[in-house]
Amino acid sequence: MTSGLFDKYASLKKSYESLVEASPRNPFGVVIERPLSATVGIIEGRETLLFGTNNYLGLSQSRHARDAAIETATSMGVGTTGSRIANGTFSLHKKLEKRLSEVFHRKHTMVFSTGYQANLGTISALVNKDDILFLDADSHASIYDGAKLSGAQVIRFRHNDPADLDKRLARTKNSPGARLVIVEGIYSMTGNIAPIKEFVDVKNRHNASLMVDEAHSFGVLGEHGRGVAELQNCENGVDFVVGTFSKSLGTVGGYCVTDHDEIDLMRLCSRPYMFTASLPPEIIAATLAALEDIQNKPELRTTLQRNSTQLHAGLKELGLTTSDFVSPVIAVTLETIPQAMAFWNALLEAGVYVNLSLPPATPDNRPLLRCSVMAAHSSEEIAKAVNVFGNVARTLGVIS
Amino acid sequence: MTDSIPNIADMIIEKLLANPKVPRNINADSRIVEDLAFDSLAVMNFVMEIEDTLDVSVPLDRLADIRTINDLASCLHGIKAEQA
């Protein structure tokens, strides 16, 4: 008996069924049978170029990280079976937190079991119902969910618009609670880069705090790979940096780094930190190894930047609509869902996998074909992807 | 224009009608999701437009109970009074 439990899904079911009916394959059910390398995987039995994995530096296939994981699983086992505040803190967790603090030149780090939980756990520990959160309108779902969990009042400001934030902070100047502004370094759907330096100026004028989610920019931007705040030389103005291990570092997990000494109190009230099992030791070991890779191989970032420029320029030259920002996230905006479905299916059938992003998960109600570039892509692989994009776009009449 | 609830409702309707996809026969009792076919993101983005006109900021939790254009006008009127 489900006694009406699923009645609310009626409209979702209708939309889902019509999407699946209109597509030769379920766009939400792609299976990578196995990766052959960072850039090529087997999908539907065929070798497919991977341009939608967020694996920006290719480190999910790092031999160094893999060997560290194997060695650690052999010596320490495969899981912790407990929370960080009970039996789930191994010396490796402390070592990773210390290492991340060193990398970011910050005093403290909290490691979470996923990037999603890092946002939930940080936001819900920092603000409560008496406080106000100011979120960029295009914030990731984990930021909105963290806001909901916190119970704080949430005010959205226009995407990447410091002047709009300024106005909204001014309107709440008499509010008694704390005010926390949250922005992302690189926005995951569009690849847009935040003007963090300007946001720092605004939040300083209003005596608010700033948290930056560098999930897609850590390891990618900045001289040492610390993200957009480093690139824009404004790290001192950022109170909390949140990020993930599941993009440039190639593993799984998340973190919050800060200079605020109250972090040990956050560990005692952050529910997504407390009420879940901690990361398995082999994941911590692989992440530490991947951090070494990032530190020791700055050429990964320069190659990634070159590859991003090649794909961005290639898609622009075809006449496709993309953001003007050059980052490893490059999204082609299309006009209708049927057009995007046909385009995405044709790309996959021609051997190129990208992410299909549909409204309302996209910023302006238009569908996106979201590409993520890797340092591991060869110039020939990028040229092939651009060529396939061009052929499909012409066939579908998206370009002439 | 005063910021009375009926005036705010009129302003909302005027802004909505600027969007050609919105049905022409809307009134203050029209339901935003059902009658205007707005999803949650569209509602949030539309509210952002009105916020600037009235110089208010609407916390997201206040949107949860809004069903009709009139509800939205009452909500904005209340916040305007609080922020005065």
Q: Domain coordinates of chain A in residue numbers?
A: 8-61+298-395, 80-279
Residue of A nearest to B83 (CA): A171
Asked if A171 lies within 8 A of B45 by C-beta distance, the reply is: no
**Per-residue model confidence (pLDDT) at position A243:** 98
Nearest-CB residue to A360 (from B39, B59, B61): B39
Contact A158 B57 (CB under 8 A): no
Q: B42, A147: Cβ pair inside 8 Å?
A: no
Domains along chain B with CATH numbers? 5-83 (1.10.1200.10)
Chain A residues with CB under 8 Å of B61 CB are: 153-154
Measured CA to CA, the distance from residue B83 to residue B78 in angstroms comes to 9
Residue of B nearest to A149 (CA): B61
Q: What is the CATH number of domain A80-279?
A: 3.40.640.10
Distance CA(A120)–CA(A276), nearest Å, equals: 13
- Count, in order, helices (H) and strands (E) of chain A: 14, 14
Q: State which residue of chain A sits closest to B58, comparing Cα positions.
A: A155
The H-or-E segment that residue A349 falls in is helix A337-349
Among partner residues B39, B42, B60, which is closest to A156 by beta-carbon distance?
B60
Mean pLDDT within B48-68 = 91
ipTM surpasses cut 0.90 = no
Please write the tens of the pLDDT for every residue from B7-42: 999 999 999 999 888 889 999 999 988 888 888 888
When scoring B19, B40, B60, B62 by the number of chain A Cβ atoms within 10 A, the one with the most, hence best to mutate, is B60
| A333 Cβ neighbours under 8 A, 6+ residues apart | A321, A322, A364, A366, A367, A368
Q: Which of B41, B48, B55 shows the shortest C-beta gap to A158?
A: B48
| Candidate from B48, B61, B83 with C-beta closest to A171 | B83
Q: In what order do the strands lie in the sheet with A153-157?
A: A108-112, A254-258, A240-244, A209-213, A179-184, A132-136, A153-157
| CA atoms A162, A165, A171, A175: torsion sign | negative
> Looking at the DSSP assignment, which residues form a beta bridge with residue A333?
A368
User: Does B1 score more than 60 pLDDT?
Assistant: no
CA distance B39 to B43: 6
Q: Quick one: closest CA in A to B45, which residue?
A: A137
What pLDDT, on the 0 to 100 scale, is given for residue A177? 95
Quote the DSSP letter at residue A135. E
What span, in angstroms and rounded, lies between the C-alpha atoms of A86 and A193?
39
Split at pLDDT 50, 70, 90, the class of B64 is confident
> Binning pLDDT at 50, 70 and 90, where does residue B2 land?
low
Residues of chain A with pLDDT under 50: none
Cβ of A171 under 8 Å from any chain B Cβ?
Answer: yes
Does the CB of A61 have a partner CB in chain B at under 8 Å?
Answer: no
Q: How far apart are CA A274 and CA A325, in angstroms?
A: 38
- CB < 8 Å to A171, chain B: 55-57, 83
Predicted TM-score of the model (pTM): 0.95
A173: nearest CA in chain B?
A: B83
Say whether residue A101 is in contact with chain B using an 8 A CB cutoff: no
Q: Is the peptide bond before A280 cis (omega within 30 degrees of 0)?
A: no
Residue type (1 letter), A336 = T
What is the predicted pLDDT for the residue at B15? 92
- Asked if A247 and A219 touch (Cβ cutoff 8 Å), the reply is yes
Give chain A positions within 8 Å (CB) of B57.
Answer: 155, 168, 171-172
Contacts of B5 (CB under 8 A, 6+ apart): B70, B73, B74, B77
* CATH T-level assignment (fold) for domain A8-61+298-395: Aspartate Aminotransferase, domain 1 (3.90.1150)
Using the Cβ of A158 and the Cβ atoms of chain B, whether some distance falls under 8 Å is answered with yes
What is the torsion angle, in degrees rounded to the nearest 10, for the CA atoms of residue A325, residue A122, residue A256 and residue A214? Answer: 0
State the alpha helices, DSSP H only, in A160-280: 162-171, 196-205, 228-231, 263-266, 271-274
> Which of B40, B57, B60 minimises the CB distance to A168?
B57
Angle at A39 between CA A318 and CA A391, to 5 degrees: 25
The label of the residue with tokens 């920092």 reads A126
Closest approach of A13 to chain B, Cα-based (Å): 16
Residue in A132, A171, A360 closest to B56 by CB: A171
